[in-house]
Amino acid sequence: MGAETTDFAQALRDAGLRVTPQRMVLLSILMGSADHPNADELLARARAVDDSVALATVYRTLSALEEAGLIRKLTLENEPARYEITPAAEHDHIVDIDSGEVIEISCDEINRLRRELLDRLGYEIVSQNTLIRARRIRKPRQAPDS
Amino acid sequence: MGAETTDFAQALRDAGLRVTPQRMVLLSILMGSADHPNADELLARARAVDDSVALATVYRTLSALEEAGLIRKLTLENEPARYEITPAAEHDHIVDIDSGEVIEISCDEINRLRRELLDRLGYEIVSQNTLIRARRIRKPRQAPDS
DNA sequence: AAGGCAAATGAGACCCATTCTCATTTGATT
DNA sequence: AATCAAATGAGAATGGGTCTCATTTGCCTT
């Protein structure tokens, strides 16, 4: 029993990584985060659970999880990188330049066009990262979620 | 006269910036570069013309030129930012993960879709940066330029 | 053409996100 | 339980980028 816990441990093992409390904590924090925390924020949240976690371990774990494809790193301009669980559906990110908030947008059509375009150029996409800096001008026409 | 030289000086003045030899050198280097140099490379190229240019000036000038909209900063993952003259036609960038080369792709259709999508969410795009890490799989179907 | 002054520069100190080192601990395997 | 490579904590080191400050220089005024 303890389906989620087992999942994390199994996911780590499947990725060829040892199961350590630090990795379990970080993975569960990321899995349970609706936002996109950076390394410092992750350290703070991890320490709330296990106050011995070191920043170096956060970075090492994030690198390992990223390499294993379990999480994704968002490289922003002029601020530390943020992280998210690898999304099932590919999506891009908007950074609200006034609030600093990061919003996800899914865009299948854009992704399809991009893949086609790259294919025509003889490339295969390894990863892609679209960062849109934008300003809110009004309420959305329709709720983005649900 | 010297149309280009005058153009650079005028562009600087139009942006509310003083015309200095350092800025002229950097602007002309960027204008004449087909690649996407980073700050160190720009320093080296600038010093070939005027060996007193300082790295701090390169960064300050790049910030000023970016703020003025004359150039664009490309924030990459795990490597220093690169710069390019603000393109007439908006385009995205492919980083060839094997060669490190940066390739431009224009994608009007993608840009249109993106603008529409953001508009529907109540946002106005301030700037956008798409970075595609890709691997060459074969020769392009058709030459990308001309 | 000369003077005045805010802006720009060069040099180097500094900042800060991230990585590295190394002594110690720990997970997995036998 | 013993073994040992992998992982960790703590703090030093790295490196891209920014800041400080004394000096220089555009540009404006006269």
Cβ(A62)–Cβ(A39) under 8 Å?
yes
Cβ(B47)–Cβ(B53) under 8 Å?
yes
Nearest-by-Cβ selection for B94 from A97, A110, A123: A123
- Which residue type sits at B10? Q
Q: How much is the pLDDT for A141?
A: 66
Q: Which nucleotides of C are covered by protein (CB under 7 A)?
A: 7-13, 16-21, 26-28
Residues B32-61 have pLDDT tens digits of: 998 999 999 999 999 999 999 999 999 999
Q: How much is the pLDDT for A6?
A: 52
Determine the protein residue whose CA lies at the shortest distance from the C1' of D24: B20
Which runs of E-coded beta strand occur in B23-74?
Answer: 71-74
Residues B89-132 have pLDDT tens digits of: 889 999 998 888 999 998 888 999 999 999 999 999 998 989 99
- Which residue type sits at B27? L
Q: How much is the pLDDT for B141?
A: 65
The alpha carbon of residue B19 is apart from the nearest alpha carbon of chain A, in Å, by 27
Identify the three-state secondary structure at position B53: coil
Identify the three-state secondary structure at position B33: coil
- How far apart CA A114 and CA A125 sit, in angstroms, is 9
Any atom of strand C under 7 A from CB of B83? no
- Please report the number of interchain residue pairs, chain A to chain B, with beta-carbon separation below 8 angstroms: 129
Question: Closest Cα partner for B117 from A110, A90, A114, A95?
Answer: A110
Nearest CA in chain B to A103: B121
Residues A82-135 have pLDDT tens digits of: 999 998 888 999 999 888 899 999 888 899 999 999 999 999 999 888 999 999
What is the average per-residue pLDDT within B13-30? 96
What pTM was computed for the model?
0.87
Any atom of strand D under 7 A from CB of A28? no
What element of type H or E holds A62? helix A55-67
Question: Closest Cα partner for B75 from A131, A86, A39?
Answer: A131
- How far apart CA A37 and CA A35 sit, in angstroms, is 6
Query: Which residues in B have their CB inside 8 Å of a CB on A?
Result: 73, 75-77, 92, 94, 96-97, 103, 105, 107, 109-110, 113-114, 117-118, 120-142, 144
Looking at residue B144, what DSSP letter applies? Answer: S
Residues in chain A with CB shorter than 8 Å from the CB of B126 are: 97, 133-135
Residues in chain A with CB shorter than 8 Å from the CB of B113 are: 107, 109-110, 113
Cβ(B115)–Cβ(B127) under 8 Å?
no
